[in-house]
Amino acid sequence: MFDASRKAHRQLLLRIVTILGVFAFGFGIYLLFTPTAPPLKFVRGPVVQISDSILLGPYPVDSELRELKRLGVTEVVSLLDATSPVESQLLASEKRRVERLGFIFTNYPIPVSRVVRGADPPVMEAIASHLSRSTEGLRYVHCYLGRHRVGMVQDYLKSHTKIKIYDTVEMP
């Protein structure tokens, strides 16, 4: 009788742990596709202005896109990587939303792995060349969290272009 009760207790514990594990996994997947949900919203980078025509920041949701439009942004330059299972979904959604709001949409994919390995010179040169062309309005360059890949772009622009990069100004 004691063994049967222990076995039932173990099975119940195993079920509870399994349910909690499945829930945690599902919530983790949800977070990957919702970068503004807690706890990710607390680690997202701010939107900063680095030049007269360039803003850097995180993946923009609808309310942020409307605010960017109000600020005079005319083009969204995404650094998301379409070969990533998560970023490909975000990229497709973003492209539809951005174009619906009347922005120009451009994608220069930088894989997340490049953050560790360093910038890919041909891609960085293409981004710099694109951003060096004069344009009306502001350009918003973003990656997923608005920290690492946009930081690489900012550093590259500082050292490899004639774009006047000033101390970043966080947008209100």
Span 141-161, pLDDT tens digits: 999 999 999 999 999 999 988
pTM: 0.81
Shared-domain flag, residues 63 and 143: yes
Q: How confident is the model at residue 48, as a pLDDT?
A: 93
Residue with the larger pLDDT of the pair 58 and 41:
58
Q: Is pLDDT of 171 > 90? A: no
**Does some domain include residue 130?**
yes
Supply the CATH number for residue 148's domain.
Answer: 3.90.190.10
Q: Are residues 7 and 47 in the same domain?
A: no
| Segment 91-95 mean pLDDT | 95
Domain that holds residue 24: 1-33
**Closest C-alpha to 131, from 119, 141, 121:** 141
Task: Give yes or no: residues 15 and 54 share one domain.
Answer: no
Q: Clarify whether residues 68 and 147 are in a common domain.
A: yes
Q: Does 63 share its domain with 120?
A: yes
Using alpha carbons, select from 70, 76, 113, 69 the residue that is nearest to residue 91: 76
What distance, in Å, lies between the first and last C-alpha atoms of the chain? 67
Q: What values do phi and psi take at 19, rounded to 5?
A: -60, -45
Q: Are 155 and 107 in a shared domain?
A: yes
pLDDT single digits (tens) 42-79: 888 999 999 999 999 999 999 999 999 999 999 999 99
Please give the pLDDT value at position 67. 95
Residue 114 CB neighbour total at 10 angstroms: 18
Q: What mean pLDDT value characterizes the chain? A: 87
